[in-house]
Each structure stands twice: as structure tokens, then as C-alpha cells.
Amino acid sequence: MWPEVIAPYQVHLVGLDLKDDEIKQKAEALYQRLSEKGVEILFDDRIQTSAGEKFADADLIGIPHRITISKRTGDKIEYKKRTETESKLISEEELMEAISKE
């Protein structure tokens, strides 16, 4: 895992179910809001790639924070800090707080 200060990106945004317009729009809007706040983001918007492949790639790259947007997350955001074993569903406000603490 990259230390936060030298990581090429702060956040890895993983979009699942991106064929669904609502999910795609939610992911793109979150990407835009984070970018406007100066957060460096890698957005995995590959449509033909499975969730497992996307998560494996996210782990391989080692970006400190992973965010997942999918049908399963509803109006929440799935957030996983690389140093933790479990992900959790949080609000966008909680996400901004978690990222700004680093």
C-alpha cells in the first residue's frame, strides 16, 4: 500500500453496475465533487470488467481509500480504508470527513 503522502491517487472510485444510468450518474457526480475538493481520484469505470477483477486491481494498485458505487449501496457509499479489513456503508458527508482526516 502506498503511504498517503506519496500515493499517486488518494481515492480509488470503483463503479459497479455502470450500465445502469442512475448508478453511472451517481458515480460520475461523486467523482466531480471529490475532484472539485482537490482529491486525486482513479475512477474505475470499466463496464466489461467484473467486480472481482476491479477489486483485485484496486488491491494491487494499493491506493489508500477505496469507494464503491453500486446498486447494493443505495443512497450510501461503500468505503474501505486500505489499512482496515472491512468496508462500511457511509454517507457522502462521512466520506468527505474520512478522506480529509488523512
List the grid coordinates of 44.
474505475
What would the mean pLDDT of 16-41 be, rounded to a whole number? 94
pLDDT in tens, 38-97: 999 999 999 999 989 988 888 888 888 999 999 999 899 999 998 899 999 999 999 998
| 1, part of any domain | no
| 21, part of any domain | yes
Closest CA to 61 of 82, 30, 35: 82
Residue with cell 486491481: 57
CATH code for the domain in which residue 64 is found: 3.40.50.800
- Total domain count, the chain: 1
Domain that holds residue 41: 11-100
pLDDT in tens, 43-52: 999 999 998 9
Beta pairing partners, 52: none
pTM metric for this prediction: 0.86
| 93, part of any domain | yes
